[in-house]
Amino acid sequence: MPRRPTAPIAEFPVSGSDAGPYGITCGPDSALWFTMVHHGRIGRITTGGDVTSYQLEPASSGPSIITTGPDDALWFTEFRSHRIGRITTTGNITSFPLPTPDAGPFGITAGPDGALWFTEASADRIGRITPDGDVTEFPLPLSGAFPSAIATGPDNRLWFTMNQANAIGAIGLDGGVTINPLPTPAAAPVGITTGADGAMWFVEIGAGQIGRIAPDGKIDEFALPDPASRPHAIAADADGNCWFTEWGANRIGRITPDGRIDEHDLPSPSSEPHGITLGPDGAIWTALEIGTVARLTPR
């Protein structure tokens, strides 16, 4: 059984309940930046709770995942507008259309080569964009894979989940792709992050499990107590643990490198936690679709 420790959790209103705070990341300005997927806005919240937001055009662009780029700007995917967006810490916004129509960009991360790498969920491609907007696309050897989240691995490859192909992929800087099928059928992996142990950790939203894959492809899976908890996003902390959202169970979980699991109930019912990140204050910050951002302070 998991431990249910008590950790202080504070919630900060950041939008209306219909805006849909979704992805979240720690910015270069020591604030938290997040997407509002339903209203087409990018939000910023300080560790003290001060909130600013910026409107995208069109409002229906569907900003999803957001990350800090090598140029100290925030980069994000526009799932419905099929663009990659960039916003400076002062609020200047640029968008870059993708060569492939209806690509559906979703996950994005800073690569080891000074570029941003992203998934094209609707086009079965991995994309690369330089800070000045040059885009390269690499087709995957599978169709209907729905590549989702992506993260840079310790081996300088980009590791990504294939939600509908039930696999974890890795792509080298030269575009070479390796595919690692998951042991559990219909696991539907989504979030992925680099662990302090030199492995990639990911969540299986369809199976209620946390997965770990080593650079050589060896996979371990750890079942959550509630198989219907629908883990969604995952982020590593400074102590070697990984934190994840349980979208279907209204909780934030933590898994240690040896597979021990703690879970923390969120204060607001049915808050729909999505993105998660380590903040500049050492706390865990989570975007909640009800229009708030939560801060969990580990004990």
156 vs 299 pLDDT, higher one: 156
One DSSP character per residue, 141-192 reads SSSS--EEEEEE-TTS-EEEEETTTTEEEEE-TT--EEEEE-SSTT--EEEE
Distances (CA, A) of 239 to 64, 196, 197, 256: 27, 8, 10, 9
Average pLDDT over the chain, rounded to an integer? 96
Alpha-carbon dihedral angle through residues 136, 143, 233, 180, given to the nearest 10 degrees: -100
Domains of the chain: 9-296 (2.130.10.10)
7 vs 150 pLDDT, higher one: 150
Provide the annotated binding site: 232, 272, 289
Whole-number pLDDT of residue 88: 98
Whole-number pLDDT of residue 299: 79
CB neighbour list of residue 61: distance below 8 Å, 6 or more residues apart: 40, 78, 79, 80, 81, 83, 85, 95
Sign of CA dihedral 9, 284, 146, 229: negative
Stated pTM of the model? 0.96
Whole-number pLDDT of residue 1: 45
pLDDT at 2 over 70: no
Instruction: Encode pLDDT of 252-270 as tens digits.
Output: 999 999 999 999 999 999 9
**What percent of the chain has pLDDT above 70?**
98
Provide the annotated binding site for Mg(2+): 272, 289
Find, among 86, 66, 77, the residue nearest to 233 by Cα. 66
pLDDT at 174 over 80: yes
Beta-carbon count within 10 A of 134 CB: 10
Instruction: Encode pLDDT of 65-119 as tens digits.
Output: 999 999 999 999 999 999 999 999 999 999 999 999 999 999 999 999 999 999 9
Instruction: Encode pLDDT of 112-166 as tens digits.
Output: 999 999 999 999 999 999 999 999 999 999 999 999 999 999 999 999 999 999 9
**What percent of the chain has pLDDT above 90?**
97
Whole-number pLDDT of residue 7: 81
Give catalytic residue positions: 274
Whole-number pLDDT of residue 5: 56
Q: CA-CA distance, 50 to 67, in Å (whole number)?
A: 20
Instruction: Encode pLDDT of 208-233 as tens digits.
Output: 999 999 999 999 999 999 999 999 99
One DSSP character per residue, 194-259 reads E-TTSSEEEEETTTTEEEEE-TT--EEEEE-S-TTS-EEEEEE-TTS-EEEEETTTTEEEEE-TT-
